[in-house]
Structure 1
């Protein structure tokens, strides 16, 4: 048995493929993995180990890791030479690095777009005759294609932050709610179909859609409110039949669900939509933003057949430090313990300000300095890479029992390789005994 262990500060990762035992740790300063040998002892006597793996105890399949493509990320990348842009794409998408394979994009403007827009700003065009990707050809499509130069098999899913302004009660991209008349909802379902088909014509593999980003969050940037009943009707009567009849291989997810202090997001959205056969029949799973955590356990308990996706990790406040990196680890650990088959970061690349077009400074895995014309890799990147480089799509989470507050998760890749990721939650060096 071969075991390899990868350590990042207080993080530990362990993998056994086939030959001699090895240990690896990540030196952040040198930005590389280093390898050293360790000694393993064989014996028939069972020890009381700190970490014990149980291969016969199998949980969810891991189906994808990724981040989100946004206009401001591509704009930041334009300050670099071609070679440096290619380096960043390799850091994010190559098999030897972060190995992202399942990513998100906005349908129209997000809060990290350069300004408000949708894919059809012609008011009253219910037949979608003026649907257009012209704006996306300037920013999002080049960004996606640059990633696909490294990862041709990249899968993409999309969600709107807002419908076209003319489909909303307030006639604006920000705040407000969707109009609920049949003519508008049918046109909006057609809008989704046009998005999928036109992007696929561009050679971009759109595999899923989520009807609305954060329906409970209505800020001044692109946004739109939906009730659970409205989503049930839209999915069951309009979007589901539209895609089933025309693009049956594109999934629909109930997402992206967020929370607030006034609403029970499980009762409002998950219970409402999944308890209705007419809408549930079209859904693959439920996608949660980081602030929808409260509903995850209820979902896996009441609807165990539904897949779980973490659609956007906590975005932070632009600090890009190790404290935020460990917070990201904690959130990935929490979701993976709770059946998540997919985990997505938020912005992969931003400029040195980290600022959205609407004044919110947030984190990114990689920061481009637009003055110095170079880039830096932030601690979040290294934490995420511990998971994404070694746990391949198709892996299953397996049993992992720990003591002394050790945070550990174990996975088995399709080729039989075992991967253990663990964190020492204390500030002092620890020695662990591992039993397989």
Structure 2
């Protein structure tokens, strides 16, 4: 049995890649320059790697030549590339959309007669289809909301935080279920959701605040019953979906004897440091829950001078640390962008 080694170096931003192959050998008690493998030792199951297909990513993809589109798809989803098997995308608009939108804007339309995925059909769904075709299999899709429609929120807008009005909790739960079913009807295996992207952050873009008690109540009293009523009992629900350092507290505050069956995972981001200890604490206290990295990037605004090698090293360090702490899967942020990011502000 051989292991393929690919070594990439950067010197003055010039990339050089070297490939070699090494054969596994019988253990002869060597103590220097060895990698020992112990297959009998098992930890968490690792479900795979993936990336986010946002509207901005789909828009950028639509402007590329057919040749470049194929190269991008092959690099991420092809048999010779990263072979991504996971996708995260957004319910309605997010901060990486080309404009704000919602699939439904009528407060009286509880029957979803005016519900439309017209915006998703323009850039997101075409890229999802191309990705699945390149992968040659059905990809696992996670949906995450950045904000309910403006009429459902206390501040009357998608941006600047605000929270979900209590009288719209049931409507919003049904809205999420309808979105999932529409995506499934289009041939996408939506098998995971998060309740809210970054529920602890007031942003100048699409955002919505949930305290731990609000998130718990929405899940227990509205979202979970709606999922059951809509035949979506197979869907995996992840809580938190925010930075690592408070994921343990949020998990402890939401998961109890009543909600334990309703929560399949804790999602987390990487913008405020490594915090591998937080991941490990959640793994130890909730060993049956999936720990899913759902968003992160080496932010250009903070690390513009670092260079490609330093950025790659930061990524590798965090991924390895997350896995060692108990992570089950890693979903990177936007799979591609233009230089401006095609970002709503």
TM-score by length of 1: 0.71
Structure 1 residues 138-160: Cα deviation after superposition (integer angstroms, max 9, x where no partner): 11111111112212311111101
1:41 and 1:336 map into 2 onto residues whose CA distance is 26
Inter-partner Cα distance in structure 1 for 2:268 and 2:292: 6
1:356-371 matches, within 5 Å, as 356-358=343-345
**Shift, 1:180, TM fit:** 4.4
Q: Which residue of 1 aligns with 2:114?
A: 130
Higher strand proportion: 1
Q: Which one of the candidate residues 8, 31, 49 is aligned to 1:47?
A: 31
- Distance change (3 Å), C-alpha of 1:2 and 1:356: same
Partner of 2:323: 336
C-alpha deviation, 1:315, in angstroms: 4.2
Asked if the contact 1:215/1:258 (under 8 Å) is kept, the reply is: no
Matched residue of 2:133: which SS? helix
1:166-206 CA deviation, whole Å, 9 max, x = no partner?
Answer: 1110010012333342x411111101110111011111221
Measured after TM superposition, the shift of residue 312 of structure 1 is 1.0
Q: How many angstroms apart in 1 are the aligned matches of 2:26 and 2:70? A: 46
Q: 1:249 aligns with which of 221, 234, 250?
A: 234
Q: Higher relative CO (CA 8 A, sep ≥ 6), structure 1 or 2?
A: 1
Aligned twin of 1:377: none
* Structure 2 Cα separation of the partners of residues 50 and 136 of structure 1: 50
Contact 1:64/1:102, CA 8 A, preserved across alignment: yes
1:351 equivalenced with 2:338 (yes/no): yes
Larger Rg: 1
- Equivalents in 2 of 1:328, 1:281: separation in Å? 33
Q: List per-residue Cα deviations over 1:195-251 (Å, max 9, x = no partner).
A: 111011111221111010011111110011000001111111111121123212221
Q: CA deviation at 1:287?
A: 0.6
Aligned to 1:370: none
5 Å-filtered alignment, 1:211-226, equals 211-226=195-210
Contact 1:127 1:187 in 2 (8 A): no
Q: Which runs of 5+ in 2 are unaligned?
A: none
In the TM superposition, what is the alpha-carbon distance from 1:265 to its structure 2 partner? 4.7
Distance 1:190-1:54 versus aligned 2 partners, 3 A rule: same
Taking a change above 3 Å as real, the CA distance of residues 348 and 280 of structure 1, as seen in their structure-2 partners, is: same
Give distance in 1, aligned partners of 2:262 and 2:295.
Answer: 23
Cα distance in 2 for residues equivalent to 1:216 and 1:71? 23
- How far, CA to CA, are the matches of 1:126 and 1:337 in structure 2? 46
Distance 1:40 1:67 in 2: 32
For structure 1, the residue ranges without an aligned partner over 5 or more in a row are 11-26, 359-436
Q: Distance in 2 between matches of 1:138 and 1:43?
A: 56
Aligned to 2:7: 7
Distance 1:164 1:5, change over 3 A: same
SS at match of 2:190: strand
Residue 266, structure 1, aligned to residue 281, structure 2: no
Number of residues paired by the alignment? 333
Q: TM-score, normalised by structure 2?
A: 0.89
Post-superposition CA distance 1:66-86 (Å, at most 9, x none): 000111112222322223212
Q: Is the 8 A contact 1:162 1:173 kept in 2?
A: yes
Q: How far 1:343 moved relative to its partner? A: 0.3
Q: What RMSD over aligned residues (CA atoms) do the two structures have, in Å?
A: 2.4
CA distance 1:288–1:45, change in 2 (3 Å):
closer
Distance 1:298 1:127, change over 3 A: farther
The answer to whether the 8 A contact 1:128-1:190 is kept is: no
Task: Give distance in 2, aligned partners of 1:59 and 1:259.
Answer: 21
Question: 1:19-61 CA distances to partner (integer Å, 9 max, x unpaired)?
Answer: xxxxxxxx9446xx7335x577656445355543222211111
Cα distance in 2 for partners of 1:45, 1:9 equals 32
Question: Structure 1 residues 353 and 41 mapped into 2: Cα distance closer, same or farther (>3 Å)?
Answer: same
